[in-house]
Amino acid sequence: MASRPHRRRFAASQKDRIFFACLPDEATAERVHALAERLKRANGFDGTLVLPNHLHVTLYHLGDWPSLPAPIVSAALDAAAQVSIRAFDVTLTGSESFRGGIGPFPFVLTCEQDIAAWNALRRPLGVAMERVGLGGATRGRFTPHITLLRDEKRAAAAPIEPISWTVRELVLVHSLLGKTTHVHLGRWLLQEP
């Protein structure tokens, strides 16, 4: 009997998620997705893989909403327009299931050794978000990662063959919850290194 794919559970009123993210380039996303397929088999996961064009590192989560909140989107667009930093290199070096809460648990690739590079983007974006009234979204811990799937099973932390890419843009993403749809509301190129 085939198992059903796991879906995250949302309140019925939550239909729209907004977040700032960095997306790997297409070639890197394909490499990550190919690795995700291998790791899914190796770990015996049943969860559905994140699509290659949805792979991302979330910088700031701006909330889940019953409908797309125009004032929040407008403020987020204003904040991102204030940020000017150089593109930077990052390397994914490990895989693990995040713990905490109830399942399904995110199975991710991590790049924690690059925290200083990520924070060079997050800090000015966070300051700009505070300026436009989105400071509440800047709180919380940040662990740079790319979610590959969610599953009731967990996998311990393990090294992977490193996958590197240059982060060249910041993206404001609108995710239609439960519909496997991402809409890019804004994109900002980072300066060439």
| pLDDT tens digit sequence for 122-178 | 999 999 999 999 999 998 889 999 999 999 999 999 999 999 999 999 999 999 988
Do 52 and 30 touch, CB atoms closer than 8 A?
A: yes
The values of phi and psi at residue 43, to 5°, are -95, 0
Domain spans, the chain: 16-189
Q: Residue 167: beta bridge partners?
A: 88
- CATH 3.90.1140.10 matches 16-189: yes
Model pTM score = 0.90
pLDDT in tens, 69-89: 999 999 999 999 999 999 999
Rounded Cα distance, 13 and 35, in Å:
35
131's CB contacts (< 8 A; 6+ apart) are 79, 82
Is the pLDDT at 11 greater than 70, yes or no?
A: no
Q: Cis link prior to 104 (omega < 30° from 0)? A: yes
